[in-house]
Amino acid sequence: MKIDWLSKLTNFLQTMAFCLAVSAIQFAIQPERTYELPLVYSICIGTFIWAFIDFGRHLFTGTSDSGWPAGPAAVLLPMGAITGGFILGTLAGDAWFGWSSWGRPARAQLPVSIIITGIAGIVATYYFFSRSRPNTWHARCRRPAARHPRPSSNCWKHSSSPTCCSTRWPICGC
């Protein structure tokens, strides 16, 4: 198992950008709280989710094209990573602030945090999974011009450019 550290760093930086966006959205929803609160929890939770998924996918046999696990592990890995990331990230955030989110006074915020983490985790997982699939519209449309079908009058996608999706609307059935 050879780990591509540049790919891991790229995924980590994209995850951190996503965490910043999630914390900004959460701050916009709850402006009465300081921005530090959603920022720290979002970064802690996102870091654990990233680590579980990005390193955990090497523990399963995956498809040779995407590197993602095949079969039930394709669903169980992200679900377990989001759950474990939420628990460990919340504990790390609690350690940062010196309180417990599991205690009675803070328990009212817990359902909102779980929903936000679930939605953000699903969106980020879909983003990274779809980016890793080589059979996406982008990969299909970047084929050499010789492999594209001949332009026809009813095919606007191939009428002007052999790399149709790089210059046109990115939905391509080529």
Name which of 37-46, 54-63, 88-97, 161-170 the model is least confident about. Answer: 161-170
Q: What pLDDT was estimated at residue 131?
A: 77
Q: Which residues contact 25 (CB under 8 A, 6 or more apart)?
A: none
Binning pLDDT at 50, 70 and 90, where does residue 127 land?
Answer: confident
C-alpha span between 142 and 123 (Å, rounded): 25
16-24 mean pLDDT: 93
Angstrom CA distances, 62 to 59, 122, 164, stand at 9, 20, 31
